[in-house]
Amino acid sequence: MAERITFVAGDFYADELPIGHDLALLSAIIHQNSPEQNIELYRKVGRALEPGGRLVIRDHVMNPEPTEPARGTLFAINMLVVTAGGSTYSFDEIRQGLEAAGFTRVKLLQNGERMDGLVEAFNP
């Protein structure tokens, strides 16, 4: 599978992402960003994906009440202290950001106690 994967160095805050991909993974990224930063990042990913391409996000996915899962709540406090706007987000918050960036068919694939929540969305 190694020949099918390409790693590219860069700064996703400053640089555009390379284009032409059918899958992008944001793993343990969105918690360090504000909602506005995440929407901009999702837009960059959308520009990098082919039509119909898939974005998978792995991070804490909080319940509607932001006190569960407990590890995510503690992590949100950490983000409050060490970032300018980071937090942990509920599925609805992630979905709203993805839809604002133009993604469709947003689905929660997995929720968990650790940073193992998975959200899937598709580039139109």
The predicted pLDDT at position 4 comes to 82
Q: Which residues contact 118 (CB under 8 A, 6 or more apart)?
A: 56, 57, 58, 61, 108, 109, 110
The tens digit of pLDDT for each residue in 1-51 reads: 888 887 889 999 999 999 999 999 999 999 999 999 999 999 999 999 999
What pLDDT does residue 16 have?
A: 95
CA gap 33, 97 in Å, rounded:
12
Reported as a single tens digit per residue, the pLDDT across 50-84 is: 999 999 999 999 999 888 999 999 999 999 999 99
Q: Report d(CA 84, CA 89) in Å as an integer.
A: 15
The domains of the chain are located at 36-63+83-112
pLDDT at 85 over 90: yes
Phi-psi region of 101 (alpha: psi -120 to 50; beta: other; left: phi over 0): alpha
pLDDT of residue 10: 92
Measured CA to CA, the distance from residue 84 to residue 44 in angstroms comes to 21
Residue 112's pLDDT is 86
Q: One of 26, 30, 31, 89 is an active-site residue; which one?
A: 31
Give how far the C-alpha of residue 67 lies from the chain's centroid of Cα atoms, to the nearest Å.
20
Helices assigned H by DSSP within the chain: 35-48, 70-82, 91-100
- Enumerate the H helices of 26-112 as residue ranges: 35-48, 70-82, 91-100
**Active-site residue, 31 included:** yes
